[in-house]
Amino acid sequence: MDLEITVDQLKERLASSTPPLLLDVREPWEYETASIDGSTLIPMGEIPGRAHQELDEEQPIAVLCHHGARSLSVANWLQQQGFEHAQSVRGGIDLWSQVIDSSVPRY
């Protein structure tokens, strides 16, 4: 499975009958500034302590951050931990705002 998906692929998957968990790994202040409805916030630094308690290894997970660097790191770590369906959203919420939903604020 590819480690990254595009914002267009994310939009399609979120609209499907079996959407992925949208995991936002930014900081709380970033999430409050701009977020995608239905996303779950677990800041990057809390992932190691919370992933195995709160995430399902079998569920597809789309990992989101501001531009895609943190989410790529988290998706890679998750895959190494057995979350085989974890993928990073390339370009992050910033690209989502530019390409998919301009109502999401850019910062």
Residue 65 is among the residues annotated as catalytic for this protein: yes
And the tokens for 69?
């660097």
Of 5, 7, 65, 89, catalytic: 65
Contacts of 17 (CB under 8 A, 6+ apart): none
Contacts of 47 (CB under 8 A, 6+ apart): 25, 74, 77, 78
- Residues forming the active site: 65
